[in-house]
Structure 1
Amino acid sequence: MILGWRKRRIARHAGKKNPPGNQEMELVIPNHFRCPISLELMKDPVTLSSGITYDRESIETWLEAGNFTCPVTNSMLRSFDQIPNHTLRKMIQDWCVEKQNYGVERIPTPRTPVTPIEVSEILFDVSASSLDVDQYRCLELVQKIQKWGAESERNRRCIVANGAAAVLAAAFDAFSNDSVERNVAVLEEILSALNWMFPFDVEAQKSLGSRASLGCMIWFLSSKDLSPKQDSIVALKELLACDQKLVEKLSDFEGVNEMLVEFVKKQICPTITKASIMVIFYMVSVAYSSSEKIKLAFVKMGLVSLLLEILVDSEKSICERALGVLCGLCSCKEGREEAQSNALTVPVMVKKILRVSDLATEYSISTISELCKYGRRDEGKILVEALQVGAFQKLLLVIQVGCGDKTKEKATELLKLLNPYRAGLECIESVDFKNLKRSF
């Protein structure tokens, strides 16, 4: 097979001129150096029980897809062991060095993948060290797990599959119960490792949802270092996504709301901003005993105006989250009053319909519906303003191109409310209707 490596000019290396007509030559890779699956040069050749050699990444993908046969011979595999073919790998490396004038780079010697037995052994030691509250031993072990995970995606899958999240979460809870300040180094390392083990299993959720663990993560939110701050807010977001019952427990911690709003306001980094908005979304969207109190607190902190300013010019992922939070805040009286008094509310909500995503459209229509449904005093003003920025035609189009039953119902109600005010007020912004796909 001919591959796309072309010979460099020899003059660059030897100071000689290439023969005329031979300045660029195609390089042929020997067939036995190519993986039978990907047909590319093998980087980590391994041999199966069938005697056929494949590149490790390719054959693992094949086996993980539920195949139990050798791709070449089609025979049933007696075992799934993958024996490294060191001889062939050395030949490939020598060939790469020999062909370096063609632009071929030497393939590095691959690291041996971690095995389930190795993972189980180290997780057993992590559990033992956490029971003894031995932060130095545990830190050493978690750093080794981090090193394994950094070597390959295959290692990460193996580590997660063998229950690492539950063990590390239990260790996090143990060291948090002992003392956050005294065990800060190992707690940071554990939290960093947990950030590539989403979604959490039930046992991990239980450990990380304890008061001690939540308190530790909130403590990290006030840290000056960016890394633990980011790991904590992302972990909280994932934790609430798995178990929204933890919202009430989280809201009991003093200063949490202020920190979340501050993260949204300062926009330290995109990851923290997105995760913070999502945590607030869970806090204002989940029904629990103190939910109205939490919504009121966020409104008093100026979150409504802050979100509207962000929505004027923001990327899709942040826009969806911000609209969701705004919709949640407008479900309470104080939130609606704050939104009604802001000149950006109606223009921004109408603007986001059909502009971002189906989810953003749903949130935008729901917010406008909340303002009209419960804001009777300003309903006429809001409806007139909505017409002036093109709401009527957009709502019609939403129904025509297809939407959820709930959104369709709200859009229909709004159309009925808007209809009496249409004469002489309706505006159409044609740019919003370009490239829309028909539902038929």
Structure 2
Amino acid sequence: MILSWRRRGAGRRAGKKGDLAVVDAASLDTDVAVPMPFQCPISLDLMKDPVTLPTGISYDRSSIERWIEAGNASCPVTKQPLGGGGFDLIPNHVLRKMIQSWCVENSSLGVERIPTPRIPASPYEVSEACKRIAAAANRGDAKRCYELVGKIKSWVKESERNKRCVTESGAGDALAAAFESFGSVSAEGQHSGLLEEIVSALAHVRPVSEEGLARLFSATSLLCILGFLNSDDLSSRQNAVLVLKEAILSDRSRHRALVDGIEEALVRMIREPIGPTATNASLVVLFNMISHSPNSDKTRSKLLQLDLVPLLINLLLDSSDKGVCERALGVLDLLCESREGMDEAFDHALTMPILVKKILRVSNLATDFAVAILWKLCKNEEGDDRRALIEAIQAGGFQKMLVLLQVDCGEGTKENARELLKLMNSYKDRVDCVDSSLDFKYLKRPY
């Protein structure tokens, strides 16, 4: 920012003199007068990237873009219609240079020169880059393709506006096609650098068409993604799981099969965490694989054999990240759809205390999942000892269910809470309850 918000705020409170906004340079006890033409009519801040509308009025680019994105179709100053968005924001280079000169002239008063803004990517530029990527892929020119993918990445990193432009212009589809093309001819180590660069770009720009998704879900592409998931490079592993997550979330059919070995790679991502972003992405993919896969029972059984249940319990024990907790509970809920999954949860000593602890502590979604899992475990418990039910009561589950009936939550969750209260009622006077807010991190783990 040119001047601190405090200084500018102080200047506005000091008032205006003629056509000048007064800004206090506190460190020098001097007033810095910002000429009115240099202020954005929307934000009243000094313009850093002035652009001009067809109406002839100049605004700071970020301010007018927010105005248009909010659904406004007229010029904020003149109120003239803007023509339904079919217009360009023309950079006002003359005004920007005048502002920069003014900043230099007042540098002794603490005013910093605004940097020359980069010109945002245009749909035409992105479309041309996509065409060149396709042409380079067709002729097998890995070097040229690498350069163009780097250009896409640089656009995406510059601003959110560029990211939207790149996505809407179909760059994700071009990248997916190039990824499949070079992946199909890649020998041991050949094109690995290019494929890694494409995966890095695809982690931020997803395909938008069915054709692009089909290329990303092809056996060739999935095997390449699996290779990155199993690599030792942490950045490649994270980018690969982000690509997989975005592809699955973009898939409208929700029934595309993945290649063998994906389950092991994703479980490894949880067992050997890189960070919350990668863990979240892994859990999203696992959730969708179980809930939408045509072979969901087979997928669930395989994940149980990989000891995913104890991994999720320990993840819930260690993680304070809201998203990780929600998704871990969601996956655990799906695993407990089977008898085998419930048995795995029964066998973990911390399952009931952790589930009770997460109720009303993370989010409404986490509470819904935790109550659903508790209901499944207690309702389907076999034998007369009711160990899971007693452990839930001891962890404070009865009190939590009473509270749930009095707070705003889903009707399904309230119904589960009512049934759990009925089950717990005959046992609550026989056991001692503990405070469910206790910290379990010092308890001995069963592994």
Separation in 2, partners of 1:215, 1:37: 51
Indicate the residue corresponding to 2:277 in structure 1: 271
1:21-170 to structure 2, matched below 5 A, reads 23-77=28-82, 80-170=87-177
Does the 8 A contact of 2:257 with 2:294 survive in 1?
no
* In the alignment, structure 1 residue 219 sits paired with structure 2 residue 220: no
Does the 8 A contact of 1:8 with 1:101 survive in 2?
no
Does the 8 A contact of 1:44 with 1:56 survive in 2?
yes
* Unaligned residue ranges in structure 2 (runs of 5+): 1-7, 13-21, 439-447
Indicate the residue corresponding to 2:443 in structure 1: none
Distance 1:248 1:122, change over 3 A: closer
Does the 8 A contact of 2:241 with 2:278 survive in 1?
yes
Indicate the residue corresponding to 2:16 in structure 1: none
Does the 8 A contact of 1:200 with 1:239 survive in 2?
no
Q: Which amino acid aligns with 1:308?
A: I
Distance 1:76 1:336, change over 3 A: closer
Indicate the residue corresponding to 1:405 in structure 2: 411
Moved more, 107-116 or 375-384: 375-384
State the shift of 1:352 in Å: 0.9
Q: Which amino acid aligns with 2:372?
A: S
* In the alignment, structure 1 residue 371 sits paired with structure 2 residue 389: no
Separation in 1, partners of 2:255, 2:239: 18
Indicate the residue corresponding to 2:308 in structure 1: 303
Separation in 2, partners of 1:378, 1:328: 26
Indicate the residue corresponding to 1:355 in structure 2: 361
Distance 1:242 1:77, change over 3 A: closer
State the shift of 1:431 in Å: 6.0
Separation in 2, partners of 1:149, 1:303: 35
- Residue of structure 2 aligned with 1:177, choices 178, 184, 187: 184
Does the 8 A contact of 2:255 with 2:293 survive in 1?
no
Does the 8 A contact of 2:357 with 2:436 survive in 1?
no
Moved more, 149-158 or 216-225: 149-158
Does the 8 A contact of 1:371 with 1:379 survive in 2?
no
Indicate the residue corresponding to 1:284 in structure 2: 290
Normalising by structure 2, we get a TM-score of 0.86
Moved more, 181-190 or 362-371: 181-190
State the shift of 1:378 in Å: 6.3
Indicate the residue corresponding to 1:394 in structure 2: 400
Does the 8 A contact of 2:206 with 2:247 survive in 1?
no
State the shift of 1:199 in Å: 7.2
Q: Which amino acid aligns with 1:359?
A: L
Does the 8 A contact of 1:240 with 1:247 survive in 2?
no
Aligned pairs, how many?
416
Distance 1:5 1:194, change over 3 A: farther
- Residue of structure 1 aligned with 2:345, choices 321, 339, 354: 339
State the shift of 1:227 in Å: 1.9
State the shift of 1:373 in Å: 2.5
Indicate the residue corresponding to 2:200 in structure 1: 192
Q: Which amino acid aligns with 2:109?
A: Y
Does the 8 A contact of 2:283 with 2:328 survive in 1?
yes
SS at match of 2:375: helix
Normalising by structure 1, we get a TM-score of 0.87
State the shift of 1:63 in Å: 2.4
* Unaligned residue ranges in structure 1 (runs of 5+): 10-22, 433-440
Distance 1:406 1:201, change over 3 A: farther
Does the 8 A contact of 1:372 with 1:379 survive in 2?
no
Distance 1:301 1:116, change over 3 A: closer
Q: Deviations over 1:83-102 (max 9, x none)?
A: 22222111111111122223
Q: Which amino acid aligns with 2:239?
A: D
Q: Deviations over 1:388-440 (max 9, x none)?
A: 111112112212213223222222221111111122436374869xxxxxxxx
Q: Deviations over 1:333-386 (max 9, x none)?
A: 222112112210111111111111111111111111221222212662211221
State the shift of 1:53 in Å: 1.3
Distance 1:30 1:227, change over 3 A: same
Q: Deviations over 1:299-325 (max 9, x none)?
A: 232222222122123121111111112
Does the 8 A contact of 2:353 with 2:436 survive in 1?
no
SS at match of 1:376: coil
Does the 8 A contact of 2:180 with 2:218 survive in 1?
yes
Moved more, 278-287 or 85-94: 278-287
- Residue of structure 2 aligned with 1:423, choices 401, 426, 429: 429
Identity of aligned residues (%): 48
